[in-house]
Structure 1
Amino acid sequence: MALRLKGGSIFLHVPKTGGNWVRHVLRKMNLVHSEVGEKHSDFGRTLLALAGRSTPSLMRYVLQMPKRVTLPPDSTYMFAFVRHPLDWYESWFKYQSQDTRRWTKFGDEGRFSAWHPNSVLNELGSSDFNVFVENVLSRRPGYVSELYFSFCSPEIRFVGRHESLRKDLCEALKTGNEKYDEDLIMNESAVGVSAPLSSPLVWDPRVRQRAVRLEYAALVRYGYGKTPA
């Protein structure tokens, strides 16, 4: 679920951006008030959950659409985290390649009631990293950019980066006027780290170049620039 903090802030958990660690730390500091929606509820689904509406079926969702609300600019403070789009592909591959996962399916792309942000990746796995990335780029060009944008709507007040997760979490909580323990955040051990692969990942230069081109929007919007291919 998205997390509502005691000070009123909302944390949106973008998959594979350090969110499990953030959730762990927020709970350890006793900052969590309640859960909102599903674990990986994007911006729109979080708004529905805050309004007390669920989305168990397409028909009910359609009926609720006219009643959906938009948060005023100075209303509920929300924050989320992203990571370098190319690193996201690596992280998802490592996660799904674990013996405990073996390319687990998440949700069902064809069923609205079985929504998961990464359901489009079902059936695209491979033991070869570059084949996996090619599968995603062919099926859903710019997938990571699309994923990030579904969470980080313009109303989101703070978007931190996985590469500076601890520092950015402190900044997010400070900006949201939440009480926090900076020493705990800076020293808490990582959680949910995928098991190492038997061999290091190596990008095919052509696949990497294509990924950079198709993920250009997220690279620029979140300050990663145009990574050389």
Structure 2
Amino acid sequence: MDKMVTLRPGYVAQLYSRYDWPGLSSVGKLETIREDLTRFLDTINCAFDKSRILEAPALHKSREVGLVWDQELRKKVAELDKLAFVKYGYDLGV
């Protein structure tokens, strides 16, 4: 991350901008895919069984790995990519 912050400051914002375009009304995150999908389907007035989506077992889910950030690096990444974190609803955690 140190190298990326130095060589490509604002990388997260650049990466996320590839999946965004004017007029995009919602963003689905893998972390909350069930809730995001049901909210989107409600928005477009699609008939579906909400409980079937919300209660479906996770498939091919990676095991969760806790990241340990150097706090100075975390602050730097949060500062450089603040707009992306805010726009897509991620907690900066700093």
> Is the structural similarity TM-score above 0.5?
yes
Q: Quick one: higher RCO (CA 8 Å, sep 6+), 1 or 2?
A: 2
**TM range, smaller chain:** 0.7 to 0.9
Q: What RMSD over aligned residues (CA atoms) do the two structures have, in Å? A: 2.3
Q: How does 1:9-28 map to 2 (within 5 A)?
A: none
Q: Which runs of 4+ in 1 moved over 6 A?
A: none
Q: 1:166 aligns with which of 16, 29, 34?
A: 34
Q: How does 1:123-162 map to 2 (within 5 A)?
A: 133-162=1-30
C-alpha deviation, 1:191, in angstroms? 2.5
Q: How does 1:51-200 map to 2 (within 5 A)?
A: 133-195=1-63, 200=66
What percentage of aligned pairs have identical amino acids?
34
C-alpha deviation, 1:188, in angstroms? 1.1
In structure 2, runs of 5+ residues without a counterpart are none
In structure 1, runs of 5+ residues without a counterpart are 1-132
TM normalised by structure 2 equals 0.76
Cα pair distance change 1:142/1:193, threshold 3 Å: farther
More strand by share: 1
Cα pair distance change 1:188/1:223, threshold 3 Å: same
Match of 2:18, SS state, is: helix
Instruction: Show CA shifts across 1:119-164 (max 9, x none).
Output: xxxxxxxxxxxxxx22332332222222222212122122244454
In structure 2, the partner of 1:202 is 68
C-alpha deviation, 1:169, in angstroms? 1.0
